[in-house]
């Protein structure tokens, strides 16, 4: 019941976003919904609701503060890829609740005309509550902005 309440609160916060906010999906480890809120042209906050689809199907929540560098790389010398990096937290609901620190690094391509983006991200996580250890999230996804 507590988990359902957390999911509903996060989804309701996505629906209250305005022009600089997006919602989408991520595929990888974990797979689920994600959202992004732009604070200004180079800073954003993201959040995700996702499930690990490996050996254990655990539900997780994460959120990160991100810094962006526009046009850090170019694909085929035409399509700009923005580099982003940041720090955040992750809570995973396994046998016990696990909490860790995320350090995401990724590339994103914005489709200005379609108000959308696609991204690829790697995020090492250092768990420190309930269990200790290192975990790696690898995500691919996209968002639509409204």
Q: What is residue 17's predicted lDDT score, i.e. its pLDDT?
A: 40
From 16, 85, 81, select the one nearest 44 (Cα to Cα): 85
Confirm or reject CATH 3.30.980.20 for domain 2-145, answering yes or no.
no
Indicate the domain borders of the chain: 2-145
Positive or negative: CA dihedral 121, 16, 145, 41: negative
- How many Cβ atoms from other residues are within 10 Å of residue 133's Cβ? 10
Q: What is residue 10's predicted lDDT score, i.e. its pLDDT?
A: 54
Please give the helix or strand (H or E) that residue 25 lies within, else none. strand 21-29
132 pLDDT tier (thresholds 50, 70, 90)? confident
Q: What is residue 2's predicted lDDT score, i.e. its pLDDT?
A: 53
pTM metric for this prediction: 0.81
């Amino acid at each position: 019941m507590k988990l359902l309440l957390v999911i509903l609160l996060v989804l309701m916060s996505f629906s209250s976003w305005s022009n600089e906010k997006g919602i989408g999906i991520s595929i990888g480890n974990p797979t689920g919904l994600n959202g992004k809120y732009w604070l200004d042209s180079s800073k954003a906050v993201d959040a995700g609701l996702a499930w690990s689809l490996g050996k254990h199907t655990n539900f997780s929540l994460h959120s990160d503060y991100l810094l962006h560098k526009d046009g850090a790389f170019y694909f085929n010398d035409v399509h700009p890829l923005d580099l982003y990096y940041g720090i955040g937290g992750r809570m995973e609901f396994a046998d016990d609740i696990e909490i860790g620190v995320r350090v995401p690094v990724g590339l994103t391509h914005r489709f200005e005309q379609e108000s959308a983006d696609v991204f690829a991200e790697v995020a090492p996580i250092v768990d420190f509550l309930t269990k200790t250890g290192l975990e790696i999230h690898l995500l691919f996804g996209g968002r639509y902005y409204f």
